[in-house]
């Protein structure tokens, strides 16, 4: 047989092997060998301002525990009591056997907290966006998203049968351009309240004005805004004073609310529709009792202790100013998410490991989490960080920044 024919047959067999791509994925292992792999680092303690990893204490500036509630004794006690009464799981979906009284009570509390008619809880925040967007957007509808919206929003759009349109990040002129070409169809605009990598806030009044002008509905993913923005921590909509005007607000528990899960809040008839058509709700196991009880306790603390939100705001102002004074590029951040933009992936990986050596745990974001050439070290802060913690972090960044020629 012709050797070329044999070779072609061998190549064809290789292409048919689904796992072939796995054998050629070497990037992560190369970083591991170089000691530059910053992912899946094991933490051996609670998500406090100081954590233990590989037996070493480090100041945590890579957590979304904005209000410092994940290890709060009151939150833990509520979770323990829920386990004692209801067990560790619900053994089914909300749709069938998995709705406990505490799910309903939490939904009522979330609706009051968000100042909406109704709320619906999901097992994860990711599932909220998957379920809500795919339930609402049909084949004759259009969903319009910011180019830097969270991956869960993008995936929710992909699961829908509608048309997907994107506009340039926080660019109202470009949003209007998109809306002008959407006449005669149902339209949903979905934006992040706070963008999770850049830390900037959406121009929500601008988006709302255009939504009204072009008869579009508006949904805000406020995962990183609730507990952070607004006088009482109600998020981006409260921050701008337009809570009543926003159709749907999505939130998660894995940030300020000290647990895991998510919710959607809005008009009762819309939430009722979502309850019966969101596949990620209907076909997923119900949020466990401990998680639900923890969220409920966290909401009470937010209402009782507004000083946590005030302290977080003070820390944000301090760290933004300090990083800029050191000479770092931090982008348009206005929140406790403060990115240190380093541009090159390799520098970001090196910087994270050098910071770790200095006793600081920070996160790395490279493409596709951020645009190509915009690699960054993502720092984020808790209301429970002390001034001493913050000064130690700044000293570490100054030392590492000089070593890498960034400042």
Residue 369 — very low, low, confident or very high, per pLDDT cuts 50/70/90?
confident
**Phi/psi of residue 362, nearest 5 degrees:** -130, 160
Checking if the pLDDT of 14 tops 60, the result is no
Task: Specify the pLDDT at position 372.
Answer: 87
CA distances from 352 to 36, 120, 400 (A): 8, 38, 9
Task: Specify the pLDDT at position 184.
Answer: 80
Residue where the block lists tokens 């190509």: 372
The whole-chain average pLDDT of the chain stands at: 95
Specify the pairing of strand 248-252 against strand 262-266: antiparallel
CA distances from 192 to 164, 170, 200 (A): 16, 10, 10
215's CB contacts (< 8 A; 6+ apart) are: 187
Tens digit of pLDDT for each residue in 161-220? 999 999 999 999 999 999 998 988 899 999 999 999 999 999 999 999 999 999 999 999
Q: Which of 165, 255, 374, 385 is catalytic?
A: 255
DSSP string, 32-100: HHTT---SS----S-SSSEEEETTEEEEE-B---TTS-TT-HHHHHHHHHHHHHH-S--SSBTTTT---
> Whole-angstrom Cα distance, residue 391 to residue 276?
51
Query: Is 160 one of the annotated active-site residues of the chain?
Result: no
User: Domain residues of the chain, as ranges?
Assistant: 27-60+306-403, 73-304
User: Has domain 27-60+306-403 been given CATH number 3.20.20.140?
Assistant: no
Q: Which of 224, 239, 385, 389 is catalytic?
A: 224
Neighbours of 215 (CB within 10 A): 11
CA distances from 378 to 86, 108, 235 (A): 38, 34, 21
Residue 92 — very low, low, confident or very high, per pLDDT cuts 50/70/90?
very high
Checking if the pLDDT of 9 tops 70, the result is no
Look at 369 and 143; give whichever has higher pLDDT.
143
> Whole-angstrom Cα distance, residue 162 to residue 88?
38
Query: Is 180 one of the annotated active-site residues of the chain?
Result: no
Q: Are 147 and 166 in contact (CB under 8 A)?
A: yes
Matching fold, domains 27-60+306-403 and 73-304: no
Q: Which of 63, 123, 196, 280 is catalytic?
A: 196
Checking if the pLDDT of 16 tops 90, the result is no
The average pLDDT across 305-314 equals 97
Cis peptide before 368 (omega within 30 of 0): yes
**CATH architecture of the domain with residue range 73-304:** 3-Layer(aba) Sandwich (3.40)
Query: Is 224 one of the annotated active-site residues of the chain?
Result: yes
């Amino acid at each position: 047989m012709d050797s070329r024919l044999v070779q072609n047959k061998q190549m064809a067999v290789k292409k048919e092997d689904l796992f072939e791509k796995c054998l050629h994925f070497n990037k992560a292992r190369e970083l591991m060998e170089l000691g530059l792999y910053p992912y899946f680092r094991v933490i051996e303690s609670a998500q406090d301002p100081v954590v233990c990893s590989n037996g070493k204490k480090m100041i945590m500036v890579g957590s979304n525990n904005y209000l410092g509630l994940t290890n709060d004794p009151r939150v833990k006690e509520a979770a323990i009591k829920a386990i004692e009464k209801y067990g560790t799981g619900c053994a089914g979906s909300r749709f069938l056997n998995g709705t406990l009284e505490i799910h309903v009570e939490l939904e009522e509390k979330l609706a009051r907290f968000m100042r909406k008619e109704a709320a619906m809880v999901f097992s994860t925040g990711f599932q909220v966006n998957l379920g809500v967007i795919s339930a609402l957007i049909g084949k004759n509808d259009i969903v319009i998203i910011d180019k830097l919206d969270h991956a869960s929003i993008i995936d929710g759009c992909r699961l829908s049968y509608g048309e997907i349109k994107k506009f340039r990040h926080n660019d109202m002129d470009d949003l209007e351009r998109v809306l002008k070409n959407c006449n005669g169809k149902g339209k949903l605009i979905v934006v992040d309240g706070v963008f999770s990598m850049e830390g900037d806030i959406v121009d929500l009044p601008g988006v709302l004005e255009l939504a009204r002008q072009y008869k579009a509905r508006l949904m805000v993913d406020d995962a990183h805004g609730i507990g952070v923005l607004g006088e009482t921590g109600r998020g981006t909509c409260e921050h701008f004073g337009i809570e009543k005007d926003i159709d749907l607000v999505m939130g998660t528990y894995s940030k300020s609310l000290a647990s895991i899960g998510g919710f959607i809040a809005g008009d009762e008839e819309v939430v009722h529709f979502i309850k019966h058509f969101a596949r990620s709700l209907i076909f997923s196991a119900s949020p466990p009792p401990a998680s639900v009880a923890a969220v409920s306790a966290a909401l009470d603390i937010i209402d009782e202790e507004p000083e946590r939100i005030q302290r977080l705001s003070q820390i944000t102002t301090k760290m933004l100013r300090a990083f800029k004074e050191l000479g770092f590029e931090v982008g348009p951040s206005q929140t406790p998410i403060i990115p240190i933009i380093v541009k090159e992936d390799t520098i970001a990986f090196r910087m994270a490991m050098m910071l770790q050596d200095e006793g600081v745990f920070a996160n790395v974001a490279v493409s596709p989490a951020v645009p190509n050439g915009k690699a960054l070290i993502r720092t984020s802060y808790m209301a429970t960080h002390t001034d001493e913690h913050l000064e130690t972090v700044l000293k570490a960044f100054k030392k590492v920044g000089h070593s890498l020629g960034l400042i």
